[in-house]
Amino acid sequence: QKALKGETVIYVNNFDMKDGKNKFFEIRYTPFIEKNQVTGVIILSQDITATKLSEINLIKAKEEAEIANRLKSEFLANMSHEIRTPMNAILEFSEILKDKVGNNPIILDYLSGIQKSGKNLINLINDILDLAKIEAGRLEIVYSPVNLLTLIQEVKQIFTLQTSNKKNQF
């Protein structure tokens, strides 16, 4: 009726075929116009099964990717908590040991290395969580000054043990 009134109408239908398969067809009803008057309807159909199945698979893949992304974010949040708790204990115990060992500079240096490495690990965990926030569009950037000399000294302290074990100089 709409095509007879001059409107092109498009339908997509799913048909059960005699061979037991389902096929999608696009059916287009186009007005046939003679002498500025609609005198009939042209009906065209096209098998769009491959396109429709690709569309369905794409939607399914998108949903699965969203589920995987949500699960990844939940995993990161849980792992963050599971790593932070023992790391905070390590940092607290190393602080207690610093008070107990006296003035032995070598042991104090080792304990200081433990603390700096632990804090760096917690910062790394925070960075990983920031990635999840970036993906969710919820990251707020906060700029802060950095003491370059302190940063270089911390890096040196982290790698000094490894380089000396390999007989290298840092």
Better-scored residue on pLDDT, 141 or 65? 65
Tokens matching residue 62: 């998108």
pLDDT tens digits for range 97-115: 988 888 888 899 889 889 9
Percent of the chain with pLDDT over 90: 44
Q: What are phi and psi of 42, to 5 degrees?
A: -100, 130
Sheet with 9-16: list strands edge to edge: 9-16, 22-34, 37-47
Q: Give the CA distances from residue 74 to residues 71, 92, 132, 143, 169, in Å, rounded to whole numbers and listed in that order.
A: 5, 27, 9, 27, 42
Where are the alpha helices (H) located in 24-143, listed in sequence order?
49-100, 105-136
What would the pLDDT profile of 111-136 be if each residue is shown by its tens digit? 988 998 898 888 888 887 777 777 77
Q: How far apart are CA 98 and CA 115, in angstroms?
A: 10
